[in-house]
Amino acid sequence: MTGPAYWGIAGHPISHSLTPRLFELVGRHVGIEGPEAVFIDADGIEEFMSKVTKMEGDVWLSCTAPLKHSPQDRLGVSGPEGVNAINQLKRIDGEWSGTSTDGAGFVDSCRHVGVEPSESTLRMRGGGSAARSIAAAWSEAGGRISTVAGRRELVDGPWADSIVEGGDADIAIDLDAIPGGGESIDLRAKIQVSISYGDGASFEEFAVKMVAAQHLEAWRVLFAPDKSEELPTLSLLLELLGAGSKDA
């Protein structure tokens, strides 16, 4: 399989992002080498479009804030039902497509650390795009959700029947934590995790596990579905990521 001309990350801030490295590791594993790794630092859709239109050829990108919503209208792509946002974009022969993999990545990471959604209650603070994506995937996996008011409340969606009031939580996440390793508030659960990481993050951090897991999901559903059976496991990808950090 021939890869794109470019792959990488877009948004702001992104200097700490592991995504270009993940593209390289997964690509090498499935026999794709040669795309140019890019960090498209853009604080809005206009700056993003100005930079990406100068790139000739196909492009595979992960997107972070503030680019999770605007591509839907500008590029005509959409995420899963209720999520109303994307975090993965692909341009092939000038045509854009996209999806959201935050939720699937969170669920896979929870299973990786021994938390099965169908047997657990997730306490979650926040109502933005990542929160909606996680709520949708957690609900689909049979999990219960206890919400905590944050900057934005979680709106109604396909997860409505999974919402519970109070009670004990098996795992918690503060999605209002500042990107790039910001502090979380204590949500009083058996386990509390964060999906915010900064420069020098360890491959053992949950946030790194999640970015790796949602990256693998992006390969499965958007970038290269025909390579699904050849993708590394999450455990192997984390090992490769950790080995690379030790060599750096």
Tens-binned pLDDT, residue by residue, of the chain (248 aa): 678 999 999 998 888 889 999 999 999 999 998 999 999 999 888 999 999 999 999 999 999 888 887 676 788 887 788 888 889 999 999 999 999 999 999 999 999 999 999 999 999 999 988 899 999 999 999 999 999 988 888 999 999 999 998 789 999 999 887 654 456 788 999 999 988 877 777 888 999 999 999 999 999 999 999 999 999 999 999 999 987 554 44
Q: In this predicted structure, what is the pLDDT of residue 210?
A: 94
Residue 47 CB neighbours (<10 A): 15
Residue 45 and residue 71 in contact, taking contact as beta carbons nearer than 8 Å: yes
Amino acid at 219: W
Task: State the residue for tokens 């993708």.
Answer: 231
Token pair for 170: 């098996």
Top-level class of domain 103-193: alpha beta
Q: In this predicted structure, what is the pLDDT of residue 153?
A: 87
Q: In this predicted structure, what is the pLDDT of residue 246?
A: 47
Stated pTM of the model: 0.90
User: How many Å apart are CA 19 and CA 4, to the nearest integer?
Assistant: 15
Q: How far apart are the first and last CA of the chain?
A: 29
User: How many Å apart are CA 54 and CA 153, to the nearest integer?
Assistant: 38
For 6-100+215-243, CATH gives: 3.40.50.10860
User: How many Å apart are CA 222 and CA 95, to the nearest integer?
Assistant: 13
Q: In this predicted structure, what is the pLDDT of residue 248?
A: 41
SS3 76: coil
DSSP per position, 24-43: HHHHHHHT---PEEEEEE-S
Q: In this predicted structure, what is the pLDDT of residue 1?
A: 64
Segments making up each domain of the chain, as ranges? 6-100+215-243, 103-193
In sequence order, what are the residues at sequence separation of 6 or more whose Cβ sits closer than 8 angstroms to the Cβ of residue 27?
Answer: 3, 7, 33, 35
Same fold flag, 6-100+215-243 and 103-193: yes
Token pair for 129: 């795009």
